[in-house]
Structure 1
Amino acid sequence: MPLRIPLGISDFRELREKGLEYVDKSGLLIEMIDREGTKVLLLPRPRRFGKTLNLSMLRCFFEKRPEDLSHLFQDLAVWKAGDAYRRHFQRYPVIFLTFRDVKASTFEGCWADLTRKVQALYDEHRAVLDGGALSALERRNYEAILDGTAEAALYRQALGDLSRYLHRATGERAMILIDEYDEPIHAGFVHGYAREILEFFRAILTVGLKDNPHLERGVVTGILRIARESIFSGLNNLAVYTLLQKTFSTCFGFTEPEVEALLARAGQHDAMGLVRAWYNGYDFGGTVIYNPWSVLSYLADAEPELKPYWLNTSSNDLIRATLKKHAARLGPMLEALLRGDGFETVLDENVALDRVDQSDAALWSLLVFSGYLKAEKRPRGPMAQAAHHLSVPNREVRLIYSGTFQELLEARLRDHGADLHRLLHGLLGGDAALVERQLGAFVKNVLSYHDLGADAANTPESVYQVFVLGLLAALEPGHRVRSNRESGEGRPDVLVLPNEPGQPGLVLELKVARGKRTLEQALDDGIEQVRGKDYAAELRAAGADPVHVLVIAFDGKQLRVRRADADTA
């Protein structure tokens, strides 16, 4: 029987009452309640990793309401954990405010969206207005928000005011749950109204969450931890748990055992290896995490297919634009990512969006916390700043990098005579003459040592290798491109492996004409190197058919290509 997958449903009550598949994340409630001394939590995670559903679960558990919702929790970990947790059940007034889809291109449009959000929130708690707990001035302020005539100051203090009203009306302090707080802030940076939107969020969050005597607990989710000086400077009671920390590490996304259980229930346990390659690869505080949206989307397909579900859910324009803008300057690191090795760096958990163009640390942090890079902590000395090893998490996310390189190259070559698709056709066909013509046009019109920094003159092979990898990235997802990996008895420069048996594979050996060595001599050296070494072993193991071996020799912007026989390479 196929699983009943709740794809796109982020309302916890609806999901549970319909009997849809649910991976128990009530451990979030347990960890939150256990941290009694922590007043406000900020839990940034990548998009579609379960943030909204988790906040909906918190609301159903904590919110005081006339109907009993215990049936939603009785088979979950939090209910089984005992009375210490159940005593908080349906006890508090809850303020739930989401800023999802507040991303207008102008501040005026954004402000209109924000005021409508606050207006809907106040309308939801209209019983406070009708209950006689408000003074005459408070009633006028409340009604001004409801009818849209309120001054800006009332919107900035809306969370603080509403929590006061609810505390007075119910006798319990309010829970404040805020979802996707940073979506309007992203839009502000993209569209040029960052200052205005930061001022609003600094005000509304500070009034609602800092030293608020009417606040029981607060939970804020988003993608990034916006730099403290930008928005959180006044919130000294804020505890931040990014995906780098162990605390709350299993509360968002799916763990390996959770995915194994889902696949087993769906009768697809044999697909675990492929699902792991496509959707695994995240490291949340040392725990292996899968992308939940992609796993559920795969299971929801009538004919399950491994494809980039997560990448297709919303625009990746900001990430693509950022990668394109910095591709030349960050060439060696991007080359390391494309070949599957990665690199080590120090991350800044406070992401300053206005510094992404100037700071490599800010750029890498943006990519990590947005879900486009995996960060694994590396041990260092007691006085050293913690470092992380960054890599592309899985095949799905790798497509954003390969697609970005393809777009970048095609844009730069639009006015030149080179044809990327003809080049790729020649490579997969082992056509040395066609590759020489098309790759020569690419090198002549695009390649420059200046693209990859001052080290290029000392390591010319790396320049060509980065360039070729960028070109070959356009072969994904049908093929996997690997660089400097063990194969046979040596390390070929580049391997192109098919993802399906029966498709062509390619070995590339790159040589540079140094000193008095000519292009022909460099080709001879390359042929001699691959001859006798089974560079094509991994391709044959992957079912590649046919297997092509090409040697490419470079001398500045001149090049020659020669074919080697696969059975002797």
Structure 2
Amino acid sequence: MSLQALPIGINTLSVIREQDMVYIDKTPLVWQMTKQPARFFLSRPRRFGKSLLVDTLKELFEGNRALFEGLYIHDKWDWSKSYPVIKIDFASGILQSRKQLDERIEIILTENQQRLGVESGNQRADIPGKFTDLILKAREKYGQKVVVLVDEYDKPILDNIDYSERAAEVREGLKNIYSVLKGQDAHLQFIFMTGVSKFSKVSLFSGLNQLKDITLDENYATICGYTQQDLETAFAGHLADVDWAQLKDWYNGYQFLGEPVYNPYDILLFISGNQRYRNYGFETGNPSFLIKLFQQKAYFLPDLEQLEVSEEILDSFDVEAIDPVTLLFQAGYLTIEKAYTGFDGQFLFQLKVPNREVRQALNSHFINGYTQTLASEKLKIQHQVFDSLNQGDLVQLQTVLQRLFAGIPWRNFTHNALPESEGYYASVLYAFFASLNATIIPEDTTNRGQVDMTVILGDFIYVMEIKLDKSADYQKQTPNPALQQIQDKAYAQKYIVGEQTVFEVGLIFNQVQRNLAQLDWRKL
């Protein structure tokens, strides 16, 4: 029996259904959303199936019954009604000014007007006036309340995020159109807005408080993405011989307070790519702004291993005050590991990197940003660092790390104080170790204090202490104070009971040399 075609890059329900492509039935959750008038907002990372969900809603409200035969919602929906649908989509192109945004909005409103067969009103009206006129005339013509679907609602802002003034101007332009929805609430049956980021309601929606945010609603946790059951049923033929544990390790793990899901884009490309494990979902991403933000804030990268944040951090993205952790979460580089109530009754989240693919991609970006290393040289160093750690070869590790820091073009950091701190060197080491899928325990605690970093790879455990020396003429120190601290505090003692070989490693970086000046170790 031939396998169904894969809907790679297809965000149109009619194409998927008419061409008998694999389709994961999300209509049980769609039914929960649509069975009564409602207004929803959903944030999900890129390539998670948001646009297909928007198109599914459009086909449903327009009453295209044939597309839903055999799906959960088919015998529940009232097909005797069809609704006028206004679709606003900012996916195509890059808008670099408020003027370009306003021109695009005018085109979008005209396209909807023509599709709905509604005569234009006052051509001299401003954008809110034209949008209002479109809603009122659509309701009058069809005799039903209007459905408004907004896809990529935030893309014009994100396209300009490097330039805060321009981003703020674009945000005001979007507020200009979204604010209409509040005033026309009585004429609207359903609103659905989706995008990557989650801007604060105050900054963008201008009082549109009726939107129900289902981004972190366990009832809708799987409305985008593929579940494990989806893969084992709808994709059973395509994944007949897959190693499920390895597939989960690489691509599963996105959690929105419910069952974990896979990014659909990853799975479709994994199958079509002869089941090769590689970086699919993030290979085309270039989060230069994100990396720049981490540099500006001199962020201590090992902290990404044990992040605890409040709901406010995940909910307060805005162009004037961007928290890099918020950006990581909304871009899909971090996800929720667990949620719990803090000591003061505050709702808290523990975050984690979702899977191996994201971990590899994220730390590769950090290596690029924190070291400015060429891609070819970076790969060579990654291989050598991996071989050193995997074989317990500390002599080679010292040589590789010294070559790494010697090769950093420090002129690129002339106006950046980042390399002046101990945290910078720890962050570079962390990025390299994490990109190799090593287990890293930052600020590893014992009953006598905490060591900077414990790295576990293969048969070896490395308990590392890092110090920054600021002397102009560095002289080798005996004993190595970093190694001595590990021994004095017995940081490695708790690891001796296992079968893995344990190394105590003391690293001293010199601020003037901007390199690893001394590395000593003891094998336990």
TM-score range, shorter chain: 0.7 to 0.9
**What is aligned with 1:375?**
336
- Kept in 2, the 8 Å contact 1:181–1:221? The answer is yes
- Kept in 2, the 8 Å contact 1:62–1:91? The answer is yes
Unpaired runs of 5+ residues, structure 2, are 445-450, 469-475
Distance 1:369 1:410, change over 3 A: closer
1:128 aligns with 2:118: yes
Counting only pairs closer than 5 Å after superposition, residues 33-52 of structure 1 correspond to structure 2 as 33-34=34-35, 36=36, 38=38, 40-52=39-51
Distance 1:271 1:200, change over 3 A: same
**What is aligned with 1:218?**
191
Distance apart, 1:237 and its partner CA: 2.2
**What is aligned with 2:472?**
none
Distance apart, 1:268 and its partner CA: 2.8
Distance apart, 1:15 and its partner CA: 0.8
Distance apart, 1:373 and its partner CA: 0.7
1:170 aligns with 2:142: yes
CA–CA distance in structure 2, aligned partners of residues 374 and 111 of structure 1 = 34
Letter in 1 for 2:191: G
- Kept in 2, the 8 Å contact 1:551–1:562? The answer is yes
Distance apart, 1:407 and its partner CA: 0.9
**What is aligned with 2:302?**
335
- Kept in 1, the 8 Å contact 2:83–2:145? The answer is yes
**What is aligned with 1:317?**
288
Instruction: Please give the secondary structure, in 1, of the residue aligned with 2:265.
Output: helix
Distance 1:506 1:115, change over 3 A: farther
- Kept in 2, the 8 Å contact 1:508–1:551? The answer is yes
Instruction: Please give the secondary structure, in 1, of the residue aligned with 2:438.
Output: strand
Instruction: Please give the secondary structure, in 1, of the residue aligned with 2:219.
Output: coil
CA–CA distance in structure 2, aligned partners of residues 364 and 266 of structure 1 = 36
**What is aligned with 1:98?**
89
1:518 aligns with 2:482: no
1:387 aligns with 2:348: yes
The equivalent position to 2:317 in structure 1, one of 352, 360, 364, is 352
Unpaired runs of 5+ residues, structure 1, are 130-137, 142-149, 499-504, 540-547
1:241 aligns with 2:201: no
Distance apart, 1:507 and its partner CA: 4.8
Letter in 1 for 2:478: T
**What is aligned with 1:439?**
401
- Kept in 2, the 8 Å contact 1:102–1:113? The answer is no
Distance 1:23 1:105, change over 3 A: same
**What is aligned with 1:255?**
227
The farther-off stretch of 214-223 and 378-387 is 378-387
- Kept in 2, the 8 Å contact 1:342–1:392? The answer is no
**What is aligned with 1:159?**
131
Distance apart, 1:335 and its partner CA: 0.4
Q: What CA RMSD, in Å, does the superposition of the two structures yield over aligned residues? A: 3.9
- Cα deviation 1:362-388 (Å, max 9, x = unaligned): 432232222121124432258522110
1:483 aligns with 2:440: yes
Distance 1:403 1:513, change over 3 A: closer
Letter in 1 for 2:211: L
Distance 1:319 1:88, change over 3 A: farther
1:75 aligns with 2:74: no
**What is aligned with 2:20?**
19
The equivalent position to 2:256 in structure 1, one of 269, 274, 284, is 284
Distance 1:424 1:367, change over 3 A: closer
- Kept in 2, the 8 Å contact 1:103–1:187? The answer is yes
CA–CA distance in structure 2, aligned partners of residues 218 and 521 of structure 1 = 62
CA–CA distance in structure 1, aligned partners of residues 344 and 521 of structure 2 = 53
Instruction: Please give the secondary structure, in 2, of the residue aligned with 1:561.
Output: strand
Instruction: Please give the secondary structure, in 2, of the residue aligned with 1:128.
Output: coil
Letter in 2 for 1:120: E
Distance apart, 1:190 and its partner CA: 3.2
Report the TM-score, using the length of structure 2 for normalisation: 0.80
1:266 aligns with 2:238: yes
- Kept in 2, the 8 Å contact 1:60–1:90? The answer is no
Distance 1:70 1:421, change over 3 A: closer
Distance 1:214 1:380, change over 3 A: closer
- Cα deviation 1:196-216 (Å, max 9, x = unaligned): 322322222222343443222
Letter in 2 for 1:122: Q
Distance apart, 1:324 and its partner CA: 3.6
**What is aligned with 2:177?**
204
- Kept in 2, the 8 Å contact 1:519–1:554? The answer is no
Distance apart, 1:355 and its partner CA: 3.8
CA–CA distance in structure 2, aligned partners of residues 281 and 174 of structure 1 = 37
Distance 1:279 1:508, change over 3 A: same
Distance 1:204 1:551, change over 3 A: closer
The equivalent position to 2:268 in structure 1, one of 255, 277, 296, is 296
- Kept in 1, the 8 Å contact 2:7–2:16? The answer is yes
Letter in 1 for 2:103: A
Instruction: Please give the secondary structure, in 2, of the residue aligned with 1:265.
Output: coil
**What is aligned with 2:447?**
none
- Kept in 2, the 8 Å contact 1:275–1:295? The answer is no
Distance apart, 1:22 and its partner CA: 0.3
- Kept in 2, the 8 Å contact 1:210–1:236? The answer is no
Report the TM-score, using the length of structure 1 for normalisation: 0.74
- Cα deviation 1:511-563 (Å, max 9, x = unaligned): 4689x983358668979988997799569xxxxxxxx9684443766743357
CA–CA distance in structure 2, aligned partners of residues 175 and 55 of structure 1 = 11
**What is aligned with 1:560?**
518
CA–CA distance in structure 1, aligned partners of residues 3 and 28 of structure 2 = 27
**What is aligned with 1:307?**
278
Aligned residues: 489
Letter in 2 for 1:481: A
- Kept in 2, the 8 Å contact 1:28–1:251? The answer is yes
Instruction: Please give the secondary structure, in 2, of the residue aligned with 1:367.
Output: helix
Letter in 1 for 2:227: T
CA–CA distance in structure 2, aligned partners of residues 158 and 186 of structure 1 = 25
